[in-house]
Structure 1
Amino acid sequence: MLVLGLTGSIGMGKSTTAAMFREAGIPVYDADAAVADLYVQGGAAVGPLEAAFPGVTKDGAVDREALRTRVLGDDAAMAKLNSIVHPLVGADRGHFFRAAEAAGADMVVLDIPLLYETGGDANMDAVVVASAPADQQRERVLARPGMTPERLDAILSRQTPDAEKRARAHFVVDTGRGLEPARAQVAEIIATMRDPQKRPTRQQAPLEGQAKRGD
Structure 2
Amino acid sequence: MIVVGLTGSIGMGKSTTAAMFREAGVPVYDADAAVHDLYAKGGAAVAPVGEAFPGVVRDGAVDREALRRQVLGDPEALKRLNAIVHPLVGRDRVGFFERAQAQGADLVVLDIPLLFETGGHANMDAVVVVTAPAELQRERVLARPGMTPARLDAILAEQMADAEKRARAHFVVDTGRGLEAAREQVAEIVAVLRDPARTPVLTPASTSGRDRTAG
Name the counterpart of 2:205: 206
Equivalent AA in structure 1 for residue 62 of structure 2: V
SS in 1 for 2:172: strand
Distance 1:61 1:148, change over 3 A: same
Asked whether 1:81 is paired with 2:90, we answer no
2:169, 2:206 within 8 Å by CA — same for their partners in 1?
Answer: no
Paired residue secondary structure (1:70): helix
1:18-167 paired onto structure 2 within 5 Å: 18-167=18-167
Structure 1 consecutive aligned stretches of length 4 or more whose deviation exceeds 4 Å: 207-214
Q: What is the identity, as a one-letter code, of the residue corresponding to 1:206?
A: A
- State the TM-score, normalized to the length of structure 1: 0.95
Deviation track 1:20-75 (CA, whole Å, cap 9, x = no partner) reads 00001100000000000000000000000011011100010000010000111111
Indicate the percent of aligned positions where both proteins have the same amino acid. Answer: 72
What amino acid maps onto 1:53 in structure 2?
A: F
For structure 2, list consecutive stretches of 5 or more residues without a partner in the other structure: none
User: How has the CA–CA distance of structure 1 residues 178 and 208 changed in structure 2, closer, same or farther, with 3 Å as cutoff?
Assistant: closer
Give secondary structure in 1 for the equivalent of 2:29. strand
Where do 5+ consecutive residues of structure 1 fail to align?
none
What is the Cα deviation at residue 210 of structure 1?
6.6
Counterpart of 1:78 in 2: which secondary structure? helix
Amino acid at match of 1:29: Y
Q: Measured at CA, do residues 92 and 210 of structure 1 come closer, stay the same or move farther in structure 2, by a change above 3 Å?
A: closer
> How many aligned positions are there?
213
| Distance of 1:191 and 1:89 partners within structure 2 | 29
Offset at 1:201? Answer: 3.9
Letter matched to residue 50 of structure 1: G
